Each structure stands twice: as C-alpha cells, then as structure tokens.
Structure 1
Amino acid sequence: MTWTTVCSIKDIPVLGSRRVARRQGMDVALFRNASDEVFALLDRCPHKGGPLSQGIVFGRGVACPLHNWTIGLDSGQAQAPDEGCTPVFQVRVADGVVQLLQSELDSHALDLAPPQAGPCAKRIPIAVG
C-alpha cells in the first residue's frame, strides 16, 4: 500500500475541513474534529450532493450545508431517519502529516458525478434558424 501525503494536520482547522483535489473524480474532504481525529469522505452528501466540506463538524459527524443531514465521519452513513452513504477514504496521521491511500485516490468513487445546480444545470436545446 502506498500512502500519499496530502497536508499537515495543522492545515485542517479544528472542527473544520480541507478539500483534496484528485486527478480524476470529485474532491475528497478531510475533516478534523475537536479530538484531533482526521477523517476523509468524498465531498458529496448522499442526499442532494451538497459539499460536505462546507458543513459544520461536530463530534464524529458533519452536517450537510444544504439540508442539514448528519453524515458520520467514520462511516459516511447518514444518521437516521435519513438514509444514504457517501464513500469513505482511508486516512492516517503520522507525525502530524495526513496521508491517504494512493490506490483509493486513483480509483475510489470515480463513477459519482458532481451535482449540477442553478439555472445552468440543464441544457435547453435552442432551435436555430
């Protein structure tokens, strides 16, 4: 297994997050809780695709900024009564350095598309002529 250094733990605010861009696929969101635990999830809520990296971190969960769903940081699972799961990435912290598995960065959850929102989300065919 090859671990890739992505940042220092100090780069993730306590009760906050940081996004990690991948060569392919959606960003990975890193979260740091008040106990200095670090978690990694796909930056996409399973409900409507909200950016979890913009949510509020508390305990071992994050509240999605769109509809306040609580997602478990360790499991990616939505808290009942909500249902759904977002992909989880393995993460480790060694000597203050945060690392992710390169194999997961290269292959995990590449089939999920980022959400499309707003007036430009749908293309409307226009007749020319």
Structure 2
Amino acid sequence: MSDWTVICRVDDIPVLGARRVARPRGVDVAVFRNGEDQVFALLDRCPHKGGPLSQGIVFGTSVACPLHNQTIGLDDGCAKAPDEGCTPTFACRVEDGNVLLDAGELATRALDLAAPRAGPTASRGAVGDATFEVQAPHGE
C-alpha cells in the first residue's frame, strides 16, 4: 500500500509548467501540469544529457528538454522517436485539488542517477515527515 504525501495544490503549478520537488537524496522530481489540468511526475533529468525537464516547455502530454529540445512523454518518461531513452516516472494523483506523490518512491526511486547540469536554486519546505524542497515557477 502506498503512503501518499501532499506536495502542493494543483493551482501552485503553472498551466503548461512545472514545479520541482527536491529530495533529501537523489535528483529532484519535476511535477508538471498540462493544458487539461492533468498532473504528471518525472525525475527532473532528461535521459539524453541530464537537462532539467522542469525548465522545459510543456505541450499536450509531453515536455521539450530545454537543452536539446528532445520530446519526453509525461505519461511514460520516454523520449519520442527518433530520440531514445527514458527518465523514471513517479506515481502521482490529485485529490481535492492537492497533488500527491508516493512517499516511498520519493525516498527510493532513481537515487543512483546524476543530477542535471543546470537549474535554478530551490527554497526549503517540509512535506509530511520528510523534508522536500518545492520550487516556485520562474518569476515568483
């Protein structure tokens, strides 16, 4: 059984944008919101060169990596042809306007992958019993 933890409100994620959730260990998780208010969570790391997907452009159910414009599916984390590779996905759901992620996945998934080579700094915030960083979108 999953232990779901509230990360933020859906409205805290800009439409066609993302927020970052920093973990005590490992690469941050990017939480995306598309134009239909669907929410997805991926490791904030492009499978190509490790670019920060949270800084990419969201369209439909995809995000374009800001470094080399590779298109990554938000639902499966996989690059669209002709590009190759996948980034790990994280279980994500929305309840009563809150975005929830699986705390077990946040603590254990993809801890061995290298961090992106670029990205903004984050501000600290507590989530449940663990401490995660949730970053505001650009310009806030």
TM-score by length of 1: 0.89
Identify the residue that residue 22 of structure 1 maps to in structure 2. 23
The Cα offsets for residues 87-106 of structure 1, whole Å up to 9 and x where unpaired, read as 00000000000000000000
User: Percent of aligned pairs with the same residue?
Assistant: 70
Q: Determine which structure has greater relative contact order: mean sequence separation of CA pairs < 8 Å that are 6+ residues apart, divided by chain length.
A: 2
> What root-mean-square deviation, in Å, do the aligned CA atoms of Structure 1 and Structure 2 show?
0.9
- What stretches of structure 1 move > 2 A for 4+ residues in a row? none
The Cα offsets for residues 26-79 of structure 1, whole Å up to 9 and x where unpaired, read as 100000000000000000000000000000000000000000000000000000
Structure 2 stretches lacking a partner, 5+ long: 119-140
Aligned counterparts of 1:8 and 1:33: Cα–Cα separation in 2:
14
Structure 1 stretches lacking a partner, 5+ long: 118-129
Identify the residue that residue 79 of structure 1 maps to in structure 2. 80
Identify the residue that residue 111 of structure 1 maps to in structure 2. 112
Shift of residue 23, structure 1, vs aligned partner: 1.2
Aligned residues: 117
TM-score by length of 2: 0.82
Q: Which has the larger radius of gyration?
A: 1
Identify the residue that residue 122 of structure 2 maps to in structure 1. none
Aligned counterparts of 1:27 and 1:116: Cα–Cα separation in 2:
12
Q: Could you tell me which amino acid in structure 2 is paired with residue 81 of structure 1?
A: P
Q: Could you tell me which amino acid in structure 2 is paired with residue 15 of structure 1?
A: L
Shift of residue 116, structure 1, vs aligned partner: 4.3
Shift of residue 115, structure 1, vs aligned partner: 3.8
